Amino acid sequence: MTNPEKVFVVIPAFNEERVIRDVLLKLLPFHYNIVVVDDGSMTKLDSLLKNMPVYLLCHPVNLGQGGALQTGIDFALRNKAEYIVTFDADGQHEAAEIEKLLIPLQEDKADIVSGSRFLGTESKNVPAGRKFLLRSARYFNFLFTGLLLSDAHNGLRAMTAKAARKIRLRQNGMAHATEILSEIRKNKLRYAEVPVTIHYTAYSQKKGQSAWSGFRIFFDILLNKIFR
Amino acid sequence: MTGIQVLLISGVVFILIYYISRFRNALFDLLVLAAFAGVGIFFILFPEYTNVIAKKLHVGRGADLLFYSCILFFIFIIVKLFARLRRLEDKMTELVRRDAINEAKNMDNSNNPG
């Protein structure tokens, strides 16, 4: 059991003012350091988060989830984090499962751990269209990065500070999920997957990724390959 | 001179003048542009020569050759532009990130009135 103060939970948030407080309230009992990165939301989170023991960083313009994540990670590293966890702001993730992701890191069996909704536990709630998209996306990721994970796009991850220092997310948009895989490969980091539960609520469904964003991601990655 | 020749030459001259008035400083660029303008005006006045070149390259007409060359040229320009945009985006990200981290607030001890 690690000192929770050494764990920094980075939460990128874009227009999540409806649920962010509830999400944070569920996280607070675990006493991790919480870093909310407001990625240029229309409603500022200052008043909503007043007097909560969290850090609030603000992007004046929207960069994208990847950009917000990297900002949060940089901040955590600056504040001497030992473990960094990424967590979604929309309530899809479960605070209690963070512990599960930290175990392989603490046992030094992996440098970065990803949650997966397809590893046996409940994948019954996954909407059919989304399931298909994600299942195909993992092969797409494999094509581009050589790594085949069971869940192509899971925002719940944990990494050691050492791993975080090696990873550089230059993709500001959603393509960061693929980029992080190629960074893992490039730096020869050990990765593991752990089954997690994803809560699909009406709210998070509405905000979820459309099929169109899949195309956008594809082009981002393709162009990234060419220009880097 | 035919109508289209007047039109095209005016276009070239206009671009040249606009460029001179806006970007005086880059002499080298100006020379390159003037060279292109000169070549352009030459082929506008004597389009038959494009056919000569085209025949050597086994392309049907001079206009076709010009068309193909333009496509390549535009693709090149677009690629360069995209790379430039990417670099700009990276720079902007750096600025936004640096500010965000420096202005980070600990909401617990925040003395902000709101």
DSSP chain B: --HHHHHHHHHHHHHHHHHHHH--S-HHHHHHHHHHHHHHHHHHH-THHHHHHHHHTT-S-HHHHHHHHHHHHHHHHHHHHHHHHHHHHHHHHHHHHHHHHHT-EEGGG-----
Q: Which of B82, B96, B107 is facing A49, going by the closest CB pair?
A: B107
- What integer pLDDT is reported at residue A151 of this predicted model? 83
CB within 8 A of A183, min separation 6: which ones?
A166, A167, A168, A169, A189
d(CA A142, CA A148): 5
Residue A99 and residue A196 in contact, taking contact as beta carbons nearer than 8 Å: no
- What integer pLDDT is reported at residue A123 of this predicted model? 57
d(CA A31, CA B79): 49
Confidence band of B110 (pLDDT split at 50, 70, 90): low
**Which of A106-110, A119-123, A150-154, B6-10 is predicted least confidently?**
A119-123
**Mean of pLDDT values over A13-32:** 92
**Mean of pLDDT values over A61-75:** 94
- What integer pLDDT is reported at residue A228 of this predicted model? 60
Chain-wide mean pLDDT for chain A? 86
- A67 CB neighbours in chain B (<8 A) are 93, 96-97
- What integer pLDDT is reported at residue A190 of this predicted model? 93
- Asked if A49 reaches chain B (Cβ–Cβ under 8 Å), the answer is yes
d(CA A67, CA A12): 9
For residues A100 and A135, the model is more confident at: A100
- What integer pLDDT is reported at residue B109 of this predicted model? 67
- What integer pLDDT is reported at residue A210 of this predicted model? 63
**Which of A31-35, A73-77, A116-120 is predicted least confidently?**
A116-120
**Mean of pLDDT values over A194-215:** 74
Chain-wide mean pLDDT for chain B? 84
**Mean of pLDDT values over A180-203:** 87
Dump pLDDT digits (tens) for B51-94. 888 888 887 787 888 888 889 989 999 988 988 998 999 999 99
Whether ipTM tops 0.90, in short, is no
For residues B59 and A185, the model is more confident at: A185
Residue B114 has pLDDT above 50, yes or no: no
Q: Which of B92, B105, B109 to mutate to test the interface with A (most CBs of A within 10 A)?
A: B105
How many C-beta neighbours within 10 Å does residue B61 have? 13
- What integer pLDDT is reported at residue A211 of this predicted model? 63
Q: State whether A67 and B114 contact (CB < 8 Å).
A: no
**Mean of pLDDT values over A161-165:** 94
Residue of B16, B51, B75, B86 whose CA lies nearest to A227: B86
Q: Which of A47, A55, A78 is facing B114, going by the closest CB pair?
A: A47
Nearest Cα residue in chain B from A44: B114
What is the least distance, in Å, from the CA of A30 to any CA of chain B? 16
How many C-beta neighbours within 10 Å does residue A186 have? 12
- Asked if B104 reaches chain A (Cβ–Cβ under 8 Å), the answer is yes
